[in-house]
Chain A
Amino acid sequence: MSGFFRVAWHVMRKDMTVEVRSREILLTTLFFAVSVVLVFSFAIVREGRAPDDVAAGILWVAISFAGTLAMGRTFERERYNDTLRALILAPADRPAIYVGKLLGLLLLLGLVEIILVPLVGLLFAAPIFSYPLMLSALLVFGTIGFAAVGTLFAAMLVRVRSRDTLLPVLLYPITIPVMIGGVRGTAALFQATPDEPMARFWIGLLVFWDVVFVTLALWTFEPVMTE
């Protein structure tokens, strides 16, 4: 098992080194996510007030759009010099490569969310510091579920010509339960009278979907990577 995590760690570290050098994915993803939030704020916020429950939806729309962009780009890099073939040719557990790519993506999305959440709080007057632990749990488990499916699909589609079109088409319907959990849980915390038990319920449901999605992805990664 240590070999599994060793390989995952090296793949993630390699992805981070490449990203630190190029900053390509982080900057484009961040720019895109911030633009989404700004556009919504210009359209919706009137006299400093946003309609109830809107902030949670906009936060998750920005996360999902930015996440989709990052997923496509992270595997596009592996396509340039066919390095994905070199990865799957290594005598390592292939699911460990999936976990490494997933961890790298989660780290990137985590950095984006660190900027995004305060921005949503500021522009939509959302109480992001009322329940910081529960909000963090919703973001972490929601992002894991979304990225777990997205990483698998992005890897599957890396050699498909219309991958940029197919990724969202496949990803969004399957991750609807995660998106609903994230939006409803976050809205429960952002509303005028926060509903703590409801937020806890959605966190529990997100953990359930994470377990389901990560297990399925680990199980299917090896067969889908063999052409």
Chain B
Amino acid sequence: MSSFARLTVSDVARHYGRRKALSQISFTCDAGEIVGLLGPNGAGKSTLLNILATLLAPSRGSIQYGDRTANGGGAEVRGLIGMLGHDLFLYPELTARENLAFFSRLYAVADVPATVTAALTRAGLADRGDDLVSGFSRGMRQRVALERALLHDPRLILLDEPFTGLDQASTAALVERLRERQRAGCLIVLATHDLDVADGLLDRAIYLKGGRMVGIDTASNGLADRYRRAMQS
């Protein structure tokens, strides 16, 4: 498994016609960090995540995944990335096991049955693996979707609103899973509105407003106050 130690975002902008969804975004972060993209709706969090995932090409600027770029790295860079989107990326007509097996094969994971069984166990759904995903609650789907994103042991994990619709227990389990991936040296970038969960979880918070970066915060605790001040500035 190839890896990278630093993610460098340099002067990234994304325009849709004349509308600027993102402009002048620059930051760096290192493997082993949990980075939060914080901001109100329309701040550009999801757009930035999609650009980091190589699903969107920036209109200007560049992103370095270690010494590689999305254009130069292609499939190799995509293999380093695991993404949990707001829409979960699961087929409701397939069982949890079939979903995980399909994506394992797409990612050319070595031992598919063992990987899928381990993923189901980590999701707490070992006994529900053969049930259709359409019958799962939001929390259960979220857990399967997270394990789907982590099947190939990605080094960059991108999460779009991962705490939406989760109860306290599911949120705590997700936080613990992210901490475990952080200890394994993964870089985690997540977009969230949930400041309570983000406070204490993030090593670095990037404040976005109207498509622009209005601050970077590396202090621990008291995130909500600093976020409010950044948004008022």
Measured CB to CB, the residues of A under 8 A from B are: 3, 6-7, 10-11, 14, 17-18, 21-22, 77, 80-83, 85-93, 226-227
Contact = CB atoms under 8 A, between A and B. Distances in A.
B78 A81 contact: no
B131 interface: no
Which residue, of A10, A21, A81, has the highest number of chain B Cβ atoms within 10 A? Answer: A81
B89 A83 contact: yes
Given A86-B83, A91-B79, 16 more contacts: A10-B105, A18-B94, A77-B91, A81-B90, A82-B87, A85-B55, A86-B89, A88-B55, A89-B54, A89-B78, A89-B81, A91-B75, A91-B107, A92-B75, A227-B50, A227-B57
B110 interface: no
Nearest to B75: A91
Classify the interface of chain B: helix, strand, loop or mixed.
loop
Contacts of A83: 89-91
B78 A91 contact: yes
A7 B102 CA distance: 10
21 contacts: A3-B108, A6-B105, A7-B106, A10-B102, A14-B94, A18-B93, A18-B94, A81-B87, A81-B89, A81-B91, A82-B85, A82-B86, A82-B88, A83-B89, A86-B148, A89-B55, A89-B78, A90-B106, A91-B79, A227-B50, A227-B56
B92 interface: yes
B53 interface: yes
A53 B78 CA distance: 53
B81 A93 contact: no
Nearest to B132: A21
Contacts of B56: 226-227
Contacts of A82: 85-89
A158 B93 CA distance: 19
A200 to B, nearest CB: 41
Contacts of A93: 75
Interface residues of B, number: 32
A14 B105 CA distance: 11
A18 B133 CA distance: 12
Contacts of A11: 106
Interface in B11-61: 50, 53-57
In the A-B complex, the 9 residue pairs with the closest CB atoms: A91-B79, A86-B89, A82-B87, A91-B75, A90-B106, A91-B78, A18-B93, A21-B93, A10-B105
A88 B75 CA distance: 10
A87 B106 contact: yes
Which residue, of B88, B90, B91, has the highest number of chain A Cβ atoms within 10 A? Answer: B91
A147 B91 CA distance: 23
Which residue, of B76, B107, B152, has the highest number of chain A Cβ atoms within 10 A? Answer: B107
B4 interface: no
A17 B89 CA distance: 17
Interface in B69-105: 75-76, 78-79, 81, 83, 85-94, 98, 102-103, 105
A83 B87 CA distance: 8
Given A82-B85, A227-B56, A91 B76 contact: yes
Given A10-B106, A92-B106, A22 B90 contact: no
Which residue, of A18, A82, A88, has the highest number of chain B Cβ atoms within 10 A? Answer: A82
